Structures are given as C-alpha cells and as structure tokens.
Structure 1
Amino acid sequence: MEMQKPPPASAGDGCLVGVLRVPVKIVAVLVVLPVRVVWDLLAAVARLLNRHVLGPAGRGLRRLHDAVVRPVLRGLGRVAATLLMLVFVWPWTGLWRYVLSPVGRWLARLGSAVAAYLLRPLGRGLALVARALFVWPWVTLWRQVLAPVGAALLTHLLRPLGDGVGRALRAVGRRLLAPLARGITLVGWALGMALFVWPWAWLWRSALVPVGRGSARLAHATGVALVWLLRALFVWPWARLWRYVVVPAAGAAYRYLLAPLGRGACAYLLAPLGRLLVGAWHLAGRISRALGRGLVRLWRGCVARPCAWAYRQVATPAGHVVREIWRTARAAVREARAEVRRALFGAPPREPVRSRARTLGSTTAVGSAPAPEISLHERQG
C-alpha cells in the first residue's frame, strides 16, 4: 500500500505560512513529541505507583494511625492535660476562689464601712473648720468693708478727679502741643529734604547715571570682544576643520574604503552564508520529511499491514464460518418448530419455508442445493 501524497496547499496560503510550516513540524517532531512521550510515561509510572505502592502504603499508614497512634496520643494528651490542670490550674483556682476572693470581698466591705462611718464625717468637719478659718473671714471682709469703701472712692473721688485731669490735658494739648508738633514736623521735613533727598538726587543725576551708562557701554563692548575672541579660538577653527578636513576625509573613506569593503563582504561572506543557511534549512526540511515517511512506513509495516492481514486472513474467514453455522442452526430450528407444530395441531404453518437459494441482497449462497420448486399445497397433500 503506497503512501498517499498530501493534498497541495490552498491558493490562499501565503509564503509566510509555507516558511513557518516546516520549522513548526520540526519542533513538533523533535521537541513536542519526545516531551509528550516522556510525560505520558511519567504519568503512567505515577499512576502505577499510586495504585500499587503509594495508595496501599497510605491506606495502611492511615489504618495504623487510626488503630494505634491516635488512641495512644489521645490517652497521652488527656494524661498530660490532667497533670497540667492538677499542677498549674486547680491550685491557683482554689486559692483565688476560697482565699483571695473572700478576703478581697471582706476588705472591700470593711473599707466601705470605714469610709461611710468615719472618713466621710471627718472630712466634712475638716471642710467646715477650713471654711470657718480661711474662707468666711476674708469673704466677710471683702463684702462688708473693702467693696463698699472701693465703690465710694471710685464714685466720689477717683472718677471726678480723672475727668478733671483729662479735660485739663486735652485743653493743654489743643492750645500748646498741637502748634508745637506742627512746627517740629515742618522743621523735620525741611531738614530731611535738605540733608538726605536733594544731595542724593543731585548725586544720582550728575554722577551715578553717567557712570552707569558708561559702564554699560564698556561691558557691552567687552562682551562683544570676548564673543569674537571665543569664536575665533574655539568655533571657527573646529568649523573649518569639520568642513574642509573631516567631511572630505569621511566621504573619501566611505567611497573608496568602506563601500568596497561592504560590497566585498556582501558578495564573498554574507551571500555564501545565506546560501549555506538556506541549504541547511532545505536539508532540515528533507530530513523531517524523510523522518515522517519513515514513521509512516514503520506504522504501516508494524501495525497497519499486520492488522489488515489478520483481518483478511483470520477474522473474515472466521466470520464467514460463524455466519454459515448460525444460518444452518437457525434453519434447522425453524424446520423442527414447523414439524412439531404440524404433528401437534395438523394445521399448515403460518409462514412459508424460506428459499435456500441465493437471495437478491446476499453475496453468497446459503446452501449448495436449490429450494424445491413445489407449491405449498402439493407438499402438504
């Protein structure tokens, strides 16, 4: 059985699909298939270990734990808990419940009784004595003596005296101090203008402004000179060097050195390397196709052809034999049933005997002898 050629690629597939199909097949055969085989083997080994080693071991350990370890640990835990309760909990609980708590309640009741019947009356008496000695005399002195005397002095002496003094001071200030303040203000303004404003204004107009303008012009000229000097020292030489030396040298180097080297490298190095890579690519494609054809032939030689031979040489004749035996047995059972019915009831059978000749839908004859060409009434008569 010859291997069928794969159908040609559809017209819609581009060159990118054709370029990527071969490496994908190579990766699938050389990388994915071994990894999947190893994974399936590991999975089968893991299932086998889980089914026959780890699973029974785990169930045995669980039963051992349920039967031995858990009761022992539970008993040890209960004993340890009882010992800990006996050593650390029950003594302190009894001490608190039967000693400290009753003593604390008795002391609290005693303190409440002492505070209610002794300390509270004593505190109230001391408070009354302190008030009688230190508060009430000063309050009475303030209310009965100092407050009335102060109110009388404020009403009849201090307030009239303050009003008179204020009126006198206002009259003196209005008649004497106001003109004096005006004169002092005018004299101070005149002295300030004569001493501080006019001299500095004259100095600004006559000296500082011309000096500033001359300094600005001098600084501008100095800056222009420095700019020209910096250009002459640092800009123009490098510009001339770049324009008349570097650019022509670079152009000549590219034209007469780099371009021929690049063309030679492309012609004698990159092109053979590219052809070598293309040849290696085509060789890898041929190897992958040969590997695929070998696997297909191996499958056909080891599995498909033996199975087809077994089907044609063993299963088909055995099926034909079983079919013949089954048909013969069925015809014999049908004839025996018809004979029994005829012997018991004497009536003609309800269905006629089928012909043993070749039928229209079958491919082989049921029997070698044809069915008798005799009508049903003649056979029964």
Structure 2
Amino acid sequence: MELEKRPDGRPQEPPRRSDPEGCVAAVIRVPVRIVALVLVVPVRMAWDVLAVAGRFLRDTVFRPAGRALAWLGRVLLVWPLVGIWRYAVVPAARGVALLGHVLLVVPAVWLYRRVLTPAGRGLYAALAWLGRYLVVVPVAWLGRYLVVVPAAWLYAWLLTPVGHALAWCGRGLGWCLGMIVTGVGAVLTGVGAVLYWITRVLVVLPALALWRWVLTPVGRVLAVIGREVLDALGHAWRIAGHVSRAFGRLLGTLWRWTVAEPARWAYRSVLTPVGHAVRDTVLRPLADAGRAAGRVTRQALAAARLTVRQTRADVRRALFGEPGKQRPADRREPSVAEARTLGSSTTALTKD
C-alpha cells in the first residue's frame, strides 16, 4: 500500500500514541488470544453439537409432542369449556338477568316513578313553604340580635385592641430573634469554614491524589486487559465457529462417501435390479396365480351355492308340491279391455 504524501513530497508519519495502553495491549494480546482459542474451541464445538441435537429433537420429538398436547388440550379442556360456557353459562346468565330485570328492576323503576318521585316532590314543596313563611323571618331577627350585634361589639371593643397589642409584641420578638439568628449564623459560618478546610486537607486532597495517581492508571490498565480479553474471546469464538463448521463438513463428507453413497449405489445398482427381477419372475406370477385361484374358487363357490339352492327347491317341491299360482287382486275399476271406448255404445255394465 502506498503511503500518502504531504504537499512537500515527504511521506506522512503514522500517528504516535502517547498513552501506555498500546504497550499493554501489545504485551497481553497474543497470549490472551492463544489461551482463549485453546479454551473456547472445545466449548464451541460442544455448543454446535448440542445445537444440532436440540434442533433434531425439536423437529422430531418436541414439536410433534407439542402439537399432540395442544390438540389433546383443545379436546379435553377448551372445547368442553367452550361448550359449557356457550350452552350452559350464557343461557343461565341470560335467564338470571331476565328474571332479575322482571322481579327487581321493573318494580323498582315503577316504585321510583309512581311513588317515591311524587312523594319527594310534595315533601320538598311542603318544606319549602314552611321555611319561607314560618321559619325565615323569626330566625333572621333572632340571628341579628343574638349573633351579629354582639359579634360586632366584641370585634370593635375587644379584639381590635388586643390584636394591636399582640402585633406590637410580635414585632419586638421578631427583632430579638433576628439579632440572635444573625449572631448564631456568624458563629456557624466560622465553624463551617474551619470544618471545610479540615475536610479538604485531610480527606478530599488525599482522595483526589489516590484517584488521580493510583486508581485511574490501574483502572485504565484493567480496562485495557478486560477489553483485550473480551476481544480475544470474541475472536476465538468466531475461529472456533469456523473450525466447528469445517469439522462438521468433514464428518458430513465422510458419512456421505463411506455410508450414504455406497448405500445409494447398492440400492440403485444391486437392490433395485434384484427387486425388479424378483417381482417379474416370482411375485408377479404368484400374484397372477393367486388371482386365478381366487377366480376359480369364487366360480366354484357360486356353482356350489346354485346347486344347493336348486337341491333345496327340488326337496321343497317333493315334500310340499308345486306352489299355487297367486290369484290377482280383485280391482274395483274395470280393466282396459272392459272399459268404455269412444267408438262403442256399450259399457262394462251393459255388455253381455
């Protein structure tokens, strides 16, 4: 890769890092990555094996079992509960609601509209008339001379002078308290300043020095180490994934060329021709012979059944004679030959 050149023609120098993180990272990066790779590769391969086994179990065992359990749950729980809710609970609730409406709501509404509302309006009108004409005027006169006049006299000749005196005393007390608070505040200010400098010198400055010169460098080093460890673990995990994938492909290739392909070749080249030959030379003639034997057997059974039926009929005729002919039913309507025609003047009743 060509270096970028400055305008004056000299190549640009790479940037220099002034922090110590570069040295620490360069020292611990390679060993940590080697150790992480050695430790992570078996874990990643075991993880891939478990993942493949888990997917196989999920597709072949857990998913069909879950579907069966879901169907069983629907059959045993959901459908009975839905049927109970739809055909038992809902009609019962509707019946109870209708019964409650008929027995409670309708009588209560009628009682409220026809009885309580007129009674309440009449009582309100009566109380309003009594309050307007019998209670308001005497109560107002008594309230004026028993409450308002004594309260005004008490406020003018007693509460006002007492209030002025209490206000003057309160102002004096507030001035005294202000002076006391000012002096106490000055004392507390001096004490606070002394405590502030003592705390700053004995606690804050040592803690600041410890943080700046000890904890911060150590924290940076630990942060670099942790970052490198995490990067090494991620790098090792990715490399272990590639190794595991390559190992899996190797196993798949070995299985294919040692088991699957020979089995396929044996099936196509050996078993299929042998099966066809056995089918054409043995199974198909046996099937044809079986069908012919079945056909002959069915014909023999049909002939035997016909012979038995004829023998039984001959025995019945020898024992009981020929069965009599069934007489036709006497119909009330005339037959076609005896019916009246358009070109004849005779009928069935007048014909000889």
TM-score of the aligned structures, taking structure 2 as reference length: 0.32
Greater Rg by CA:
1
Higher relative contact order (CA 8 A, sep 6+): 2
TM (norm. structure 1) is: 0.30
